[in-house]
Structure 1
Amino acid sequence: MSCHVIIFAKSPRMGISKTRLARDIGLVAAWRVKRYLDAYTCQVARDPRWTCLLAVAPDCDVEAAYPGAWPAELARIKQGKGDLGERMTRALQRYSRGPVCIIGSDLPDLRVQDLAAAFKALRRNDAVFGPAQDGGFWLIGLSPRAARRFHCGPVRWSSRHALADILSGLPAHWRVAFLRELDDVDDGKSYWRLAQR
């Protein structure tokens, strides 16, 4: 049974992504942080135990080459239209032949052991989440059966309610596991925490 890790990433073109961070530290600095974190995440997430894919938005940038941002050998797919929940649902269902995990590309403390722990948790659970310090989540993983039945209800994205909202929409009988909490770099506060380390 093949496992998949799907990295959700926005285009590394300046001004397309990390807009909240850019408001706090400036456009150029946010672009540099984004490129660093993209490269780091792609490096950490690739492992022979699973297939790693890069899900890109907007769709027009799937085939674009940005030297140093995304490894050329990493397969890319389109996130497609809709809000984050709709895009995640499509990706999870598309690769539901085996356990599948989605992560963001802004995780400076991500380790390959975190991803291995997610797949281990999915042997006995329907879903696994990596909670983020800001109330969101840095990983969602589903078993094949759960991925085929998953539908994301209303979620207050980019808020401290995101994880609670998505959990409240899961079937009551699902078994859910949690990984360690990580900090994702979305705004000035999280950036300065990273800079101080």
Structure 2
Amino acid sequence: MRRTLVIMLKEPRAGRVKTRLGRDIGMIGAAWWFRHQVARLLRRIEDPRWSVVLAVAPDCALGSRAWPARFQRTAQGRGDLGARMARQLRDMPPGPVCVIGGDIPGITRAHIARAFAALGNHDAVFGPAPDGGYWLVGLKRSRAMPAGLFNGVRWSTQHALVDSIGSVSGLSVVQVDVLRDVDRVQDLQ
């Protein structure tokens, strides 16, 4: 079965993407940073061992020229971050699926490969971030997805990882590398 890496992306428009970072460096600067960060990320993580799918928001931005045309695209759809990630995990073709964001400067192919490898012996994988969130979530998908996947998660807090792990009760969970995502100007340093 084919491995799928889904990258959750917002169209890089000022005031609509990386707004917490935008409060520190300006909304135009935050949108510029995100667009260029994603371009670097896509070059670093493209690999024949997995398919890359761009999950785009807003849904009307599927045809946006902000992202390279060579990547398959899908709409994120409605709901909070958890509902949108759960939809991607559920709707991809058969096989293991990992979901990441576009704001992880330190990510490499080796990080992604370790996450997929971890799904060989576990049902779920998380890549923790130092702030209590996470940069990656993945499911083996050999069992039914938990009905309450990502329900009650306190997003954008230090509880996001713990809450998300709690939402996959009954599945075997492993954590891989700790990587930093960028939410504020301090994260850029």
Whether the 8 Å CA contact 1:92–1:101 is kept in 2: the answer is yes
How far, CA to CA, are the matches of 2:124 and 2:144 in structure 1?
9
1:80 counterpart = 2:42: no
Identity of aligned residues (%): 44
Q: Match of 1:26?
A: 26
Secondary structure, counterpart of 1:77 in structure 2: strand
Cα distance, 1:95 vs. partner? 1.6
How many residues of Structure 1 are paired with residues of Structure 2 in the alignment?
A: 188
Q: Which amino acid aligns with 1:127?
A: A
TM-score (norm 2): 0.95
1:170 counterpart = 2:168: yes
1:117 counterpart = 2:90: no
Cα distance, 1:75 vs. partner? 1.2
1:63 counterpart = 2:63: yes
The superposition leaves residues 167-189 of structure 1 with CA deviations (integer Å, 9 ceiling, x where unpaired) of: 12222x42111111111011121
Q: Which amino acid aligns with 2:75?
A: K
**Structure 2: tracts of 5 or more residues without a match:** none
Secondary structure, counterpart of 2:179 in structure 1: coil
Whether the 8 Å CA contact 2:146–2:168 is kept in 1: the answer is no
Whether the 8 Å CA contact 1:100–1:141 is kept in 2: the answer is yes
TM-score (norm 1): 0.91
Q: Match of 2:3?
A: 3
Aligned pair in 2 of structure 1 residues 162, 77: CA closer, same or farther (>3 Å)?
same
Q: Match of 1:157?
A: 155
How far, CA to CA, are the matches of 2:93 and 2:81 in structure 1?
18
**Structure 1: tracts of 5 or more residues without a match:** none
Secondary structure, counterpart of 2:7 in structure 1: strand
How far, CA to CA, are the matches of 2:30 and 2:87 in structure 1?
29
- Give the CA RMSD over aligned residues: 1.3
Secondary structure, counterpart of 2:142 in structure 1: helix
How far, CA to CA, are the matches of 2:9 and 2:46 in structure 1?
15
The superposition leaves residues 82-130 of structure 1 with CA deviations (integer Å, 9 ceiling, x where unpaired) of: 0011111111011261000000000110010001001100000000000
